[in-house]
Amino acid sequence: MTVPAIKGVGTSLFGKQPDLHPSELVWRAVDEAMTRAGVTAGELDAVYVGTVFGAPGVAQRALHAMGIVGVPVITVENACASGTTALHEASEAVRLDRWACVLAVGIEKMTDQFAGAIHPESTDIEGRSGLALPSLYAMAATRYQHAFGVTDAELAMVAEKNHGHARHNDRAQHRTPHTVEEILASRMIADPLTLLQCCPIADGAAAAIVGPHEPGAREVVIRSSVLRSGQLWDHRSEHVWGFELIRDTARRAFEAAGIGPADLDVVECHDAFTIGEIVTTEALGLAPEGEGVGLLRDRHTHLGGPQPVNPSGGLLSRGHPLGATGLAQVAEVVWQLLGEAGGRQHPGATLGLVETMGGGVAGVDGNACAIAVLERLG
């Protein structure tokens, strides 16, 4: 089998971009990725596209103007993990020698469809009761606080860190640092989560070119890529929603890569809400259960610490255009591993991880979790 590698990545800016058509966002991301990879439209064998709310044909509408025609274009929807699902499928296609040059792209134009939180699905029990995702994460935060004694201020430390990181990311939607006091004083959304502890919706696109690993090339190898959907969720678990799915996916990803969580230099994880990052770092094995806040207190996951988490600013600051988010995370880790992250660079990073959790379907422990372990060789 072939070892897959990321040859180039690209993204648009993220945020409210009312004057830009989704195609224009795709053009910016794909053009950057193809330029960095040194490939042309005619060299692409296939395209995987992640989107959640995109119109039918959103990919073909954008790609034909770039001369990307006549190849398979496969659109996937996996909630927030749609973009990372596109990368996973591109990686598997190369690994299994199905294709040799594959484009993965994520796109979402959200700010003209939603004023705030995404509308809950009325056919789900949670949706019928009005429980949008901020409410579900708030309940997870409350349960976690009860179990482990974490304070509101400690939850807010996640947002303080990630908003601080984002000041170095000129593509992020929000780049203003905030103190814990400012975060707690922002408008309450779903107790205990205030506005600055919730990710903003955004418009954006991100892309990656995947092909066979070439020794000596300036590229990032995909050591492992694992995609899982959640188990049946019967509310008897001792963990908060999503923990088992992330934990089990991570275990498989680490096993396939032949590494452990302590080996990672940098992580981009799904911090849609502050509690999400704390639970995820524990599920990934960066900290024991109930001790994720210690990573923040010790500045272990800050830039300058041993294992920076969300150096891009994460979803909390970069914004969360659902279909593009996973590939935006991938782009950040690739830039980190190639030493191209500018003011947010973690020195000497060679091994990174991307984790994206898609949720929202009643009855399962998350729609999907995608985890990729990435490495710069040499």
In this prediction the pTM is 0.96
Separation CA 289–CA 279 (nearest Å):
8
- Residue 347's domain spans which residues? 4-114+199-375
Do the domain assignments include residue 193? Answer: no
Do the domain assignments include residue 106? Answer: yes
> Where are any strands of DSSP class E within 58-199?
73-76, 102-109, 188-190, 193-194
Catalytic residues: 80, 320
Helix axes 82-95, 322-337, angle to 10 degrees: 60
Do the domain assignments include residue 358? Answer: yes
Do the domain assignments include residue 278? Answer: yes
Do the domain assignments include residue 133? Answer: no
Residues in the chain: 378
Do the domain assignments include residue 155? Answer: no
> Do the Cβ atoms of 354 and 374 come closer than 8 Å?
yes
Do the domain assignments include residue 192? Answer: no
Do the domain assignments include residue 309? Answer: yes
Q: What is the pLDDT of residue 26?
A: 97
Provide the domain count of the chain.
Answer: 1
What tens-digit pLDDT sequence spans the chain (378 residues)?
899 999 999 999 999 999 999 999 999 999 999 999 999 999 999 999 999 998 899 999 999 999 999 999 999 999 999 999 999 999 999 999 999 999 999 999 988 887 666 666 667 666 666 677 888 899 999 999 999 999 999 999 999 999 999 999 999 999 999 999 999 999 999 999 999 999 999 999 999 999 999 999 999 999 999 999 988 877 777 888 889 999 999 999 999 999 999 999 999 999 999 999 999 999 999 999 999 999 999 999 999 999 999 999 999 999 999 999 999 999 999 999 999 999 999 999 999 999 999 877 777 888 899 999 999 997
CATH code: domain of residue 79: 3.40.47.10
